[in-house]
A and B are shown apart, each in its own frame.
Chain A
Amino acid sequence: MTSDGNSRAHSQRVDLLVVSELVGRGARVLDVGCGDGELLKLLVDTRGVDGRGIEISQDGVNECLARGLSVIQGNADTDLVDYPDDSFDFVVLSQTIQATQHPRRVLSEMLRIGRKAIISFPNFGHWSVRTSLGFKGRMPVTENLPYSWYDTPNIHFCTIRDFVELCREADARIEKAVALDAGGQRMTLKAPWWFWNLFGQQAVFLLSRRG
């Protein structure tokens, strides 16, 4: 449930820049699974946000403290309920949703606490994953997804198409979606979902509450 468990997925850093561009200046931001605070610090320094974090690992929390960030040692699955409605402008879940016990509940909580939610995740529909499963018959172990199936913290992988379906079920409006290719570059906006789902290695979604 920690983003530092997925630190290699962070190595490209482009996803963090994409996330930070979605966040308004001076906004109130909660980063769920904030790891060592890299994204939160980036948001504070470049976007002037009033930032808070939640992180499960003690090392991560202490690194955040040393960076001057306000971070609570906790868990996305159990601790979001403690936050009041509408207490943030943006709630960010960066490379963490696949490690939550209850992704749908987490998504709903994020949209209750924040006016908007930003979620980035690795796309399990990427061709390299499909190749590993389809031709080798093995669960994929890649640079982005470095764990063996038996010791991975990532228990709820999804594809971009799966995530779009979750948003529909959870009554979340997709305000913006960005896919990044294997090189970490933004893919063309005009591409259809099936293209993103095959060639997007990571995705970043900006969501808001419907109604």
Chain B
Amino acid sequence: MATTSHPAPSFGASQARSEADNPSSLVMRFGPDKPLILESGRRIDHLQIGYQTYGTLNADRSNGILVCHALTGDQHVASTNPVTGKPGWWETMVGPGKPIDTDRFFVICSNVVGGCMGTTGPASTNPETGQPYGLDLPLITIPDMVRAQAMLVDALGIDRLYCVAGGSMGGMQVLQWAASYPDRVANALPIATGPRHSSQNIAFHEVGRQAIMADPDWRGGRYLAEDTSPRKGLAVARMAAHITYMSDEGLHRKFGRNLQDRDKVAFGFDADFQIESYLRHQGLSFVERFDANSYLYVTRAMDYFDLAADFGGRLANAFLGTKTRFCVVSFTSDWLFPTEESKSVVRALNAAGAKVSFVEVETDRGHDAFLLDEPVLFASVRGFLSASEGR
């Protein structure tokens, strides 16, 4: 069922394009006998999941940790990214001797459904037509992503995960896992996340999607078939989103009003300021590695997320009777998923009588802090995972 392929490294957009169907990671394929039934009522009959594993599964299959990635992340959590050639996106957290210690745990990370790194998404080839799905792919939700991950975990022969961990959209998946499969999650580690996407967050996503769809090269979503790409739209979407990942304070510390390679403003619309140059760079490098339609699908999945709504409007009902231990983490300067969002999860878990810990990390690095070198975060995760081992 699982196959591996290792094409020669060649970074950039063409590599990104080939990863969608033939990822340079492990791959699990499910046929029409095991369709992914979606929340929308539609189904994916040929589900493919690109994933990575690190460490060794122990004899009683009890040391599995599922790491869930964020909006534009992928399965390469602790190994070189085949598209960018850069280190894995969470190598500070995951690896030998790291807080999520691959010497002790068997770490699994899979690309989400709707993504573009080897799991079925709009850039994947539809086996029934031989063409990219494009907008023919049904809309995906966070519960759909989690159901696909559960299919993968099943196929790997793991009944109960030692921990499910992730930040931002990954944290949404952690909460969904705990709510959907309470008996399969011993420990849950939702970081910088919330129980629903806020109105403000939906608004930012809508700006990003409109930027993509306003690009004439988007071609109504059929750009792959027409051999073009809405690069400008996607870059603008990334620039806008990137602002929300940082804090005003952090931006000021890092860039201030500093000028880029010049002594005074040029009275034009070039990137006078360092922050402009930085954002342009972020936008340009993003389009090299990410599919524009994927961006539409995955942002939409986040927008639709509202865990309480699926449980009669009361978030605590999502966790009633749970035996899972939780460690909820937020960051003081995160305004995308502010501490109050995490606290609403903590309140609900308390109301449900769950074993919950909560840490608010002091930092000026905003939402992105969960990906960065934050010693308090590492200490919390290390303590949480080691203390509960063997229980």
Contact = CB atoms under 8 A, between A and B. Distances in A.
What 9 A-B pairs come out closest when comparing CB atoms?
Answer: A68-B387, A66-B383, A65-B383, A72-B358, A70-B355, A82-B347, A62-B379, A65-B384, A70-B357
A65 B350 contact: no
A74 B387 contact: no
B388 interface: yes
A52 B347 CA distance: 13
Interface string A69-100: 11111100000001110010000000000000
B40 to A, nearest CB: 35
Given A70-B325, A72-B346, A65 B353 contact: no
Contact of B386 (A61, A63, A66, A69): A66
A67 interface: yes
A62 B358 contact: no
B361 interface: yes
Given A58-B362, A70-B325, A84-B351, A64 B346 contact: no
Interface residues of B, number: 27
B357 A64 contact: yes
Contacts of A65: 327, 357, 359, 380, 383-384, 387
Given A68-B388, A69-B357, 9 more contacts: A52-B350, A52-B355, A65-B380, A66-B383, A69-B387, A70-B325, A71-B357, A72-B356, A87-B351
B360 interface: yes
B376 interface: yes
Contacts of B359: 58, 61-62, 65, 73
Nearest to B343: A82
Nearest to A66: B383
A64 B388 CA distance: 12
Contacts of B353: 87
Nearest to A71: B357
The bracket for how many chain A residues form the interface is 20 to 34
Secondary structure call for the A interface: mixed
Contacts of B347: 82
Contacts of A61: 357-359, 380
A61 B384 CA distance: 10
Most buried by B among A66, A69, A87: A66
Nearest to B355: A70
Contacts of A62: 359, 376, 379-380, 383
A69 B358 CA distance: 11
Contacts of B350: 52, 72, 82-84, 87
15 contacts: A52-B350, A61-B359, A62-B379, A62-B383, A63-B383, A65-B327, A65-B359, A65-B380, A66-B382, A67-B383, A67-B387, A68-B391, A70-B357, A72-B358, A84-B350
Contacts of B355: 52, 70
A69 B359 CA distance: 13
A73 B346 CA distance: 10
Contact of B357 (A72, A82, A83): A72
Interface in A14-68: 52, 58, 61-68
A67 to B, nearest CB: 6
Nearest to B352: A84
Nearest to B388: A68
A67 B360 CA distance: 18
B197 to A, nearest CB: 22
Contacts of B360: 58, 73
Contacts of B356: 52, 70, 72
Contacts of A83: 350-351
Most buried by A among B355, B356, B357, B361: B357
Contacts of A52: 350, 355-356
A62 B384 CA distance: 8
Given A84-B350, A87-B350, A66 B387 contact: yes
